[in-house]
A = this chain, B = another copy of it.
Amino acid sequence: MQITILGGGGFLGRKLAARLAKDGTLGGRPITGLTLFDLAAPKPLPAPFPLRCLGGDVADPAALAAAIPPGTGVVFHLAAVVSAAAEADYDLGMKVNIHGTLAVLQACRALGTKPRVVFTSSVASFGGGQEAVVPDDGRQVPTNSYGAQKAIGELLLQDASRKGFLDAVNIRLPTVMVRPGRPNKAASSFVSAIIREPLLGLSTDCPVPPEFAVWICSPRSTVEWFLHAATMDTAPLGLDRGINPPGRSATVAKLLEALEAVAGRTARDKVGFAFDKEVFDIVVGWPGSFEAKRARRLGFPEQEPLADLVRAFIEDDLEATKADRGL
């Protein structure tokens, strides 16, 4: 089976690629090739199968045709301009998140072999705010351009699935934490920063109050969800290709408790609070919780407890993050 990861140079793309390389198989079938595609060609990684690392624009049909060659069985479409960046630069968000997804649709359709497409939509495609517990048939009324663009991408791939051009599973990712690296342009960047920065020995300010609730998931769970979405029977989904996976609702206060439980009071005390209206105005519209019953029924696995999520970052990413940041 040939696999392509669009956005293969990103945090989740690389974790997924490393997992595929470790397993060598997907759904019990040997992987015969992996293409990692991103704006800049991703760095190679050791793999037991041929690996291609391509750079290009996801909205460019020729680049995508190279990235999704005949014989591709699964496309992970993780390429996106994230929330605060899409809000700050509307045209860039439209180009990557809308025209990019249109190009992915056409590239997959051109294969004529109905590849599985695992698309990362987002909690940001929902409104409702802090008080919401979104049911599985909850309506997407986005409060930001990124969310609107993700909801549109879902509709495009869902209809293309109905037409038989491809076979999509649209996973509406919670806020993935703990992210390695540096704070980024995602409005939700702080959710990782309040754990990561203290573990690096650095101080950080949280832009929202302690009682603020976020719908989160771990990178480990996210990769499990990707693998499940890539191999599950899609017949039970029917027309509805959107999945609200079983994340976890956590307040900032609870996250800091977990940090303290794992890394002690000194780490906890590295986090201050400094209200940031620009960030708050984006994230305050996102729902604090989801029911996620359908995803559980469909076999998407649960989150680990919060303290394990902190430990997972220490095990998987702390050293590399220190090295990357020269700490």
Contacts and interface: CB of A to CB of B under 8 A. Distances in A.
A139 B137 contact: yes
A90 B141 contact: no
A195 B163 CA distance: 33
B140 A239 contact: no
Given A152-B152, A155-B152, A139 B141 contact: no
Interface residues of A, number: 24
B148 A158 contact: yes
Question: Number of copies of this chain in the oligomer?
Answer: 2
A142 interface: yes
Given A137-B139, A138-B139, A240-B141, A159 B155 contact: no
Given A137-B139, A139-B137, A139-B138, A127 B159 contact: no
Interface string A81-100: 00000000010000000100
A142 B149 CA distance: 17
Contacts of A102: 98
Interface in A152-188: 152, 155-156, 158-159, 162-163
Nearest to A99: B102
Given A141-B158, A148-B158, A148-B159, 14 more contacts: A90-B163, A138-B139, A139-B140, A141-B239, A141-B240, A142-B158, A142-B159, A143-B162, A143-B239, A145-B159, A145-B163, A152-B155, A152-B156, A155-B155
